[in-house]
Structure 1
Amino acid sequence: MAELRHIPVMLDEAVEGLAVQAGGRYLDGTFGRGGHARAVLSRLGPGGRLLLMDRDPAAIAAAQAAFAGEPRVSIRHANFSSLAEWDETAAGLDGVLLDLGVSSPQLDEAARGFSFMADAPLDMRMDTSQGESAADFLAHADEREIADVLWQFGEERFSRRIARAIAERRAEAPITRTGELAALVERAVGRREPGKHPATRSFQALRIRVNGELDAVRRGLDAALSRLKPGGRLAVISFHSLEDRIVKQFIRDRSGRVQGSRRGPPVAAKPAELAPVGKAQFPSDAELAANPRARSAVLRVAEKLAVGGAA
């Protein structure tokens, strides 16, 4: 699947959503291999700035190789959730782009352990310089915790059955390979969804747990809002409902809408901080034909409002 390796998802839509100004200051918090970053940089003039972050050391190495000597670019190896801690963002940002989830290079490099398509060490860490691997987690977590992770982060209906199978297997020997885990899940639940490997949800859940992805999204959105200038744009591409739900709720809750239910009195709305820009966007048929990995992508864009609710 090498032909899919470097295709940025919803490239035109995301860059258009940022409304890039030639002299603006923009942050790409998930550099990956730089497809979106290059498109933003191409719209910047000599006075523009592009800040690049990624938690993956391989992505940072690619960024350093691609933009060595480019005076408009600064690069930082860190999770985008800490963007407000970077001095480069203190002057304010005109746009923040977050392309969430696992990147194609991470999936395609078997040794990273994200995919069940090839047998490899069961790692799944986006930042290989720190934290515990998926194998480490499965070695120490109790059966109930494993089941909870599979259910909460993978929406896996057979979470308890799979957790039980994992606990029984590791009593004999540690589970350290992707192929071993995929085969174990398949034996536990069988092939129940045509065209979808039975381990898909389990691998997603473990990856999210190992990398703390949902918490990073929540903290990153708060950090982005704190650094955006009035009129600045936030563009977020999500790849599954758990991420998109967080992004959708974040924008809604900060748009000044009155909160409450039909059964109770309305709750006073907080002052508006964000305004949605259009509706959620999805990949075109042409993009899906060229890049099937874009099939679950959702793009949401919002603009930061000035004090008093006017952009």
Structure 2
Amino acid sequence: MSQPLYVIGHQQPDTDAVCSALAYAWLKQSQEVDAVPARAGEVNPETQFVLNFWSVQTPPLLEDAATERLILVDHNEYSQTVPGAREAEIVEIVDHHRIGDVTTSNPIFFRNEPVGSTATILTHLYDEADEPIDSETAGLLLSGLLSDTVVLRSPTTTDTDRVVAERLAETAGVEIETYGKDLLQQKSKLGNKSPREMVLGDFKEFEFGSHHVGIGQVETVTPEAVLEQQAVVLAAMDDIVDEREFTTLLLLVTDLLDEDSTVLVAGDYTDTVADALDTTFTDQKAFLPGVMSRKKQVVPSLEDAFS
């Protein structure tokens, strides 16, 4: 029996990562490939809402990928991969982020496009395979697309995303704004999360030259629920900096209604971060008008500043 292919998104998986893993595994299965969708962490409230809404089982947790065969979706950096990925065989990558540091010993299929979600790319892959997209798959792909583009409001949104979203919504039988508002409400749920959980809930690590940088993001319609806990959140950030040896750690608190962010910073190089983001920190906090996208509006500037 051949070894299965695990289709898996990044650690601290978001809706696009989980839904893309499911949709791409299903496409592979239709091509008689032994593909298994998986996840690299616990699902968040928004993703759980999506899975429940479309009556799809949560993909199994893959805790150690060493010796496994992997298809990476929605990421291509070792700092974001499932544990053991460096010892795994990576056979495909489908992503919409910057090109990271994942390397392979053989040529592989690597699809990377500057669009708002991996789900957008997967829609094209279904088309190229001449495989129809049923309502359930369309619902998952639409969810990943709307989640990553903040219901087509993010600056990462392209005309391609808008066209694909309309098509997927029609197939899924939902209206974009109505369904999108349900997603935003779920995305905003903080519940009883501890400050540490807020920081690490949607979190990515980057290597910028010799600098190890962490960037968390909380997307919410009630940013004050986080910011009024600034002191304890910063204390949690300090602990994470020490534990993981970050040069710098940022937390973006993004207001989904006003479409801007407040950023908290811990660690060293605050001046470097301030210059990169064209802002000024007061008590480790700064306001970033119009900033919603970590990928497009924060990471490139920090990479330039640190590298």
The TM tier, using the shorter chain, reads under 0.3
Structure with more strand by fraction: 2
TM-score of the superposition, structure 2-length normalised? 0.25
Taking structure 1 as the reference length, what is the TM-score of the superposition? 0.25
Select the structure with the greater relative contact order (CA < 8 A; seq sep ≥ 6). Answer: 1
